[in-house]
Structure 1
Amino acid sequence: MPARDNFSWTLMVSCYARAGELKLARDTFDRMPGEKCAACYNAMISGYAKNGRFDDAVALLREMPAPDIVSWNSVLVGMTRDGKMARAVQFFDRMPQRDMVSWNVILDGYVRAGDLDAASGLFERIPSPNVISWVTLLNGYCRAERIGEARELFDRMPERNVVSWNVMLGGYARLSNMEEAYKLFTEMPDKNSISWTTIISALVRAGKLQEAKDMLNKMPFDSFAAKTALMHGYVQSKMVKDARHIFDALEVRDAVCWNTMISGYVHCGMLDEAMSLFQQMPNKDMVSWNTMIAGYAHDGQMRKAVSIFRKMNQRNAVSWNSVISGFVQNGLCVEALQHFVLMARDGKMPDWSTYACCLSACANLAALQAGRQFHGLLVRSGYIVDSFSGNALISAYAKCGRMLESRQVFDEMAGQDIVSWNALIDGYASNGRGAEAISVFREMEANDVRPDEVTFVGVLSACSHAGLVDEGLDLFNSMTKDYSLQPVAEHYACMVDLLGRAGRLTEAFELIQGMQIQPNAGVWGAMLGACRLHKNDELAHAAAKKLIELEPHKTSNYVLLSNISAEAGRWDEAEEMRVMITERGVRKPPGLAGST
């Protein structure tokens, strides 16, 4: 430049400071010839404050020949935005003068810090709070879900702009208080796009999709956010056709919009449609790729999941976790552990989900040594305190038969959830240590942890393996009596197995006949196993016939019934079953049509 004035120098200082290049900013500031203007000082002070260099900001403020209110407020803003409220308050108290910006900055700082009592106290000290002051405190109350105090403040406001109405509306919407939200919305003198989008989004979250659609049709603005919210609601409710109708009508689509639609297809099992849309997506992000990997993995199509995974230019921890968990879900545990090694080579840090999946793989493989190595990695990584990883470790040791280590992990956890207790109970039960499983259940009750359906499957299974018939009956009855839990097929199967092992076949059969739900193959399978153990051919024959009704295409059921018939001397039926083995699925065995 042939010539530079104060504006040129100030602009350079300001640009460097905003870019975080404070050394260059200060060098330019120091080289500025002549007397520096207030604007140049303020640009440098603001740069220091925004980057957390408060000592430098205050030192420069003191050097400034005539600091103005902007200078002081710049430092105050930096301190409050950085969460240094104690220092900000001290600085505020020392300020030679304050304007409304000063008061609102410190008020906003308290709100950001979540100290609403201090914010309220400060608010009462503001000489003449303006609408920004009122809205700042109102927003704090709404975000903290202190809706009563928010409404009281809202009603006291001397003037309300559309922002204040929207903040109050958002407060009700956040709490799903649709009655008050809708009432407030109808009372609003002026509504903008945010007002309409807020009420439509609230209706969507409340599951009132038709009302949300009607509201969208009445909306006088073209709101992309409102349309996306309704589309997301349709996807959550698996109404993908309605979601696709909105998607196709959008003139502009962002990545969130594309991913919402793809995710909707994936969650509905419509993977061909998801893949078609994925291929059309112009700018795929990490979420797009990971959604497709998880979708194919959940559907058991690991070859396609891995193919997509390998095509990714970049992968994050979620990408690796999706493919590793997919291998575990589909029983490919060796491949899961191999990909853990590849993940480390790729330089990606495993998280609690990675460790939980790999521990499940170790458990399924009964790979005790590998499980112990992951235990060591968990301790070093710090994820041992995470309940998901801890629970996976409990299960891993239990499946390897190492209940001492399993119990030790349980005891060392920072906090046990219901899954932790269930994993320990199931571990003892599956290792034939019924008494210990029941002991843990009693310990669980003593700790005021409410058992769920999974808990009772584990403890009833433990009773069955330990032959604790009376204990099992008491626990089964306590499900509905003490915990208001309705037994499902798995609980009945445990009880049938328990009674059957004890030779109480008639009671087991009567229990099945008295079931409030339809017996499944697991229940009749347990009955059949008990009958064959105690050589009750009549009940075994009845149970086997029920199994064939439920699983007409399963060859092993016909083989079982053929063997049972042969053992009972019913040679004609045995021969018919052998014929059915080669003709299964063509017709039903004689005598089964129309039976219940």
Structure 2
Amino acid sequence: MKSVIQPVTKNGNHVVHQNRRITQLGKSGRIEEAVKVFTRMTNRNTVTYNSMISAYAKNGRFTDAYQLFDKMPFRNLVSWNTMISGCLHNVKVEKARQLFDRMPHKDLFSWTLMITCYSRYGDLKEARKLFNLRPDKSDPACWNAMVSGYAKNRMVEDARELFDEIPIKDLVSWNSMLAGYTQNGQMCEGRKFFGEMADKDVVSWNMMVAGFVEVGDLDAAWQFFQRIPSPNVVSWVTMLCGFAKNRHILEAKRLFEQMPERNVVSWNAMIAAYVQNSEIDEAVRLFAEMPLKNAMSWTTMINGYVRVGKLEEARKILERMPYKDVWAETAMIAGYIQYKMIDEARQRFDRIGTRDVVCWNAMIAGYAQCGSMDEALKLFRKMVQKDIVSWNTMIAGYSQVGQMEKAVKIFEEMGEKNLVSWNSLISGFTCSCLHVNALKCFVLMGQSGKKPDQSTFASGLSSCAHLAALQVGKQLHQIAIKSGYARDMFVGNGLITMYAKCGSMSSAKHIFSCIDSNDVISWNSLIAGCALNGYGKEAVKLFNDMKVKGVAPDPITFVGVLSACSHAGLIDQGLDMFECMAEKYSIEPLAEHYSCMVDLLGRAGRLEEAFQLVRGMKIKANSRIWGALLGACRMYKNLELARLAAEKLFELEPDKSSSYVLVSNIHAEAGRWDEVERVRVSMKESKAERQPGCSWIEVKSEVLVFLSDDGQTAEINNMLISLTAHISSTSNISDTQSSIFEAG
């Protein structure tokens, strides 16, 4: 269609007013009112259509926007750019490219929009290709978009390299690069770069304040804030939010009172500060004093009441709103979901006249969190407009309930995938013990151009740990180093566990020492590693060092250290640990702790003490506890106690063959062959499932997996070898012929 600019109509002033009205309604989320204004207009110009398209797109109704675009009698360059901007807002990258290629004419803004569209959603390769094709090589706009794209995707070195090549740098160029440092937590480099800037505006100063706030350095943030030549309302709100985020509510209040001017954002920020600190009465007082309230003000108050569990008060606030707002309605739905009131949430959802995609996603997420995936799927299929969050919610929901085939089906159906999509699938495979599938998925994610983050590495390393795939784990470690995540606590803890479970305790200790600030998970991982590899005394020493460092142990800590004492024969230390767990740390023993203690006493031959411990437990004994006692009975040939433990074990696990085998062996060693035959008959009658034995061994840098009575041994072995080869090429992974969805 020919691109023509329509002349202004006779009553142009009225049209201009209506156009502005549509734009305002679209920005405030009142899309149905905007539609009514548009429908009633008898005279429409190109700006009218552009305003309505923008309103649709910004409120998640992309299909409506696209249909209106196709019906336009006239299109100008702004129409095309508005539509591409709508694609950017609704994560429709492929559609944006189709529109871009169809454009009869492109301006610099068109190129910048398309580069931003690719880079914002992680496709830096396509963004760079387009960047290299742009006709105007000197204008800084596209350069700035590309630098910003690298920075937002944590590729700060690439951003700096490109920044240094910019022929004509403007202030936006400098601020784009500064944002790369501040938004990625590299505040030392950011401070240095800020000092090199010849020109700075309030945006530059605000980014430094925001960067220090984000890394928790409030002293530095405050110093920069005080030096801002002419702070604007963003400066004040940024610092205020920093105090609020770190629960410095008095400083936030003092700053709010000192503000030279307060807009609605300032008031909302202070109310949010009170809400975050659960000071709901103060929030209510400030809300009542507000001279002007917007939708965010009401929504913040609803969230505040939800936060303290006052759902009825939240509902009353919602009913008092002077106009219906989907954001506030969604906040109420989220509150019901948070407190497991799924029926009330659905009733509220059904009463909403116009729902945006966020509202739909909230309701679907509610069903997913409750494990009601059938209901979630029904809503998902009814959605006219789905964004990438909708698809990811479904993948994560199916993954959480272990329905990986359905998760894969959703994953394959969706168009564009982001890092969350891949992470949800990889995490699902890991949690479902489909570890080879998880690693295959890791490889294919790299091939798709997506860079792993903390969550990806954590899942991948966990799978390596369960498979004892040391070589694959080492390759993931190398990728983590190159990606800048090796010193991340989340990834570091995964590396400690992986190396420990693969028997490489020296590497586990090295990783532990490299983590800047070890948390309780770091200590637990290393202690558990020592227990697993027979270093009992070292585990106890670590426990004592942990206390000296001021890190409080949790229940998992005691599972690790009690297990270490058990396997190392440290009876007295184990008994002392068990006693101080409740007395000193107020941690009530769980089944895992009792199991360790039964095993500890049993290995020492103190079977009567172990049995009395089980009898005196406050909780019901599980199969692990009776199994530990039964194992000790076999070691010390206590047939009477073994019979009792076996009866309890058969009640809890009638279909598990290992229990029958253990009892049979006890009778066989005592020469009671009639009892052996009786146990074997009972095993056949119970149709107990035989669990194949499983072993791993590393030979010449290859992990060999052996499973008794399993036809997939060779396939798993070959896949691990293949994964090692593919992952070793890190970011430039070669293609693989294997599908991640084949059985591992």
Bigger Cα displacement from structure 2, 193-202 vs 381-390: 193-202
Q: Of 631, 639, 645, which residue of structure 2 is paired with 1:537?
A: 639
Q: Of 331, 335, 338, which residue of structure 1 is paired with 2:440?
A: 338
Structure 1's 254 and 569: CA in aligned 2 closer, same or farther, altered over 3 A? Answer: same
Q: Of 253, 262, 281, which residue of structure 1 is paired with 2:364?
A: 262
Once the two structures are TM-superposed, the CA of residue 169 in structure 1 deviates from its matched residue by: 3.2
In the TM superposition, 1:460-539 aligns within 5 A as: 460-539=562-641
Once the two structures are TM-superposed, the CA of residue 412 in structure 1 deviates from its matched residue by: 2.1
Work out whether 1:236 is the aligned partner of 2:327. no
RMSD: 4.2
Once the two structures are TM-superposed, the CA of residue 356 in structure 1 deviates from its matched residue by: 2.0
Give the aligned partner of residue 214 of structure 1. 316
Once the two structures are TM-superposed, the CA of residue 421 in structure 1 deviates from its matched residue by: 1.1
C-alpha contact (below 8 Å) 1:120/1:137 kept by paired residues:
no
C-alpha contact (below 8 Å) 1:558/1:577 kept by paired residues:
yes
C-alpha contact (below 8 Å) 1:359/1:393 kept by paired residues:
yes
2 CA distance for matches of 1:374 and 1:200? 44
Bigger Cα displacement from structure 2, 229-238 vs 541-550: 541-550
Structure 1 unaligned blocks of 5 or more: 1-11, 27-47, 55-81, 93-103, 127-131, 586-596
Work out whether 1:417 is the aligned partner of 2:417. no
Q: Of 544, 552, 555, which residue of structure 2 is paired with 1:453?
A: 555
Give the aligned partner of residue 121 of structure 2. none
Structure 1's 193 and 493: CA in aligned 2 closer, same or farther, altered over 3 A? Answer: same
C-alpha contact (below 8 Å) 2:171/2:199 kept by paired residues:
no
Once the two structures are TM-superposed, the CA of residue 190 in structure 1 deviates from its matched residue by: 6.8
In the TM superposition, 1:101-112 aligns within 5 A as: none
Give CA deviations for 1:514-553 in whole Å, capped at 9, x if unaligned. 2222222222221222122212222222222223443456
Structure 1's 424 and 549: CA in aligned 2 closer, same or farther, altered over 3 A? Answer: same
Bigger Cα displacement from structure 2, 174-183 vs 160-169: 160-169
Q: Of 685, 690, 710, which residue of structure 2 is paired with 1:582?
A: 685
Work out whether 1:304 is the aligned partner of 2:433. no
Once the two structures are TM-superposed, the CA of residue 450 in structure 1 deviates from its matched residue by: 1.3
Give CA deviations for 1:93-128 in whole Å, capped at 9, x if unaligned. xxxxxxxxxxx99998998787557867999xx9xx
Give the aligned partner of residue 487 of structure 2. 385
C-alpha contact (below 8 Å) 1:559/1:581 kept by paired residues:
no
Once the two structures are TM-superposed, the CA of residue 339 in structure 1 deviates from its matched residue by: 1.8
Work out whether 1:51 is the aligned partner of 2:172. yes
Work out whether 1:144 is the aligned partner of 2:243. yes
2 CA distance for matches of 1:159 and 1:289? 43
2 CA distance for matches of 1:519 and 1:245? 42
C-alpha contact (below 8 Å) 1:565/1:574 kept by paired residues:
no
Once the two structures are TM-superposed, the CA of residue 217 in structure 1 deviates from its matched residue by: 2.7
C-alpha contact (below 8 Å) 1:142/1:171 kept by paired residues:
yes
2 CA distance for matches of 1:413 and 1:161? 43
Q: Is the partner of 2:516 in helix, strand or coil?
A: coil
C-alpha contact (below 8 Å) 1:559/1:578 kept by paired residues:
no
Structure 1's 252 and 372: CA in aligned 2 closer, same or farther, altered over 3 A? Answer: same
Structure 1's 501 and 160: CA in aligned 2 closer, same or farther, altered over 3 A? Answer: closer
Q: Of 437, 451, 455, which residue of structure 2 is paired with 1:353?
A: 455
Once the two structures are TM-superposed, the CA of residue 578 in structure 1 deviates from its matched residue by: 4.5
Give the aligned partner of residue 279 of structure 2. 177
Give CA deviations for 1:250-284 in whole Å, capped at 9, x if unaligned. 11222211111111111111111111111111222
In the TM superposition, 1:71-220 aligns within 5 A as: 137=236, 140-141=239-240, 144-145=243-244, 146-148=248-250, 151=253, 166=268, 168-186=270-288, 193-220=295-322
C-alpha contact (below 8 Å) 2:318/2:329 kept by paired residues:
yes
Segments of 4+ moved more than 6 angstroms: 16-26, 82-92, 104-114, 117-123, 132-136, 153-164, 558-574
C-alpha contact (below 8 Å) 1:83/1:109 kept by paired residues:
no
Q: Which amino acid aligns with 2:172?
A: N
Give the aligned partner of residue 289 of structure 1. 391
Give the aligned partner of residue 250 of structure 1. 352
Once the two structures are TM-superposed, the CA of residue 584 in structure 1 deviates from its matched residue by: 8.4
Bigger Cα displacement from structure 2, 545-554 vs 17-26: 17-26
Give CA deviations for 1:282-324 in whole Å, capped at 9, x if unaligned. 2222211122112212222221111221222211122122222
Q: Which amino acid aligns with 1:458?
A: G
Structure 1's 209 and 555: CA in aligned 2 closer, same or farther, altered over 3 A? Answer: farther
C-alpha contact (below 8 Å) 1:169/1:184 kept by paired residues:
yes
Give CA deviations for 1:380-431 in whole Å, capped at 9, x if unaligned. 2211011121111111111111111211221222332211111111111111
1 CA distance for matches of 2:618 and 2:643? 23
2 CA distance for matches of 1:25 and 1:335? 45
TM-score (ref. length: structure 1): 0.73
2 CA distance for matches of 1:493 and 1:303? 35
1 CA distance for matches of 2:452 and 2:625? 41
Structure 1's 577 and 182: CA in aligned 2 closer, same or farther, altered over 3 A? Answer: farther
Once the two structures are TM-superposed, the CA of residue 354 in structure 1 deviates from its matched residue by: 1.7
2 CA distance for matches of 1:107 and 1:382? 26
Give the aligned partner of residue 77 of structure 1. none
C-alpha contact (below 8 Å) 1:548/1:557 kept by paired residues:
yes
Work out whether 1:227 is the aligned partner of 2:323. no
2 CA distance for matches of 1:159 and 1:297? 49
Q: Of 618, 636, 648, which residue of structure 2 is paired with 1:546?
A: 648
Give the aligned partner of residue 89 of structure 2. none
Structure 1's 133 and 391: CA in aligned 2 closer, same or farther, altered over 3 A? Answer: closer
1 CA distance for matches of 2:479 and 2:468? 18
Structure 2 unaligned blocks of 5 or more: 1-76, 78-106, 113-135, 142-168, 176-190, 214-220, 689-744
C-alpha contact (below 8 Å) 2:496/2:522 kept by paired residues:
yes
2 CA distance for matches of 1:362 and 1:25? 46
Structure 1's 173 and 472: CA in aligned 2 closer, same or farther, altered over 3 A? Answer: same
Once the two structures are TM-superposed, the CA of residue 230 in structure 1 deviates from its matched residue by: 1.0
Q: Is the partner of 1:225 in helix, strand or coil?
A: helix
In the TM superposition, 1:321-332 aligns within 5 A as: 321-332=423-434
Q: Which amino acid aligns with 1:347?
A: G
Q: Is the partner of 1:517 in helix, strand or coil?
A: coil
Q: Which amino acid aligns with 1:295?
A: G
C-alpha contact (below 8 Å) 1:110/1:116 kept by paired residues:
no
1 CA distance for matches of 2:376 and 2:333? 15
Equivalenced residue count is 508
1 CA distance for matches of 2:431 and 2:472? 19
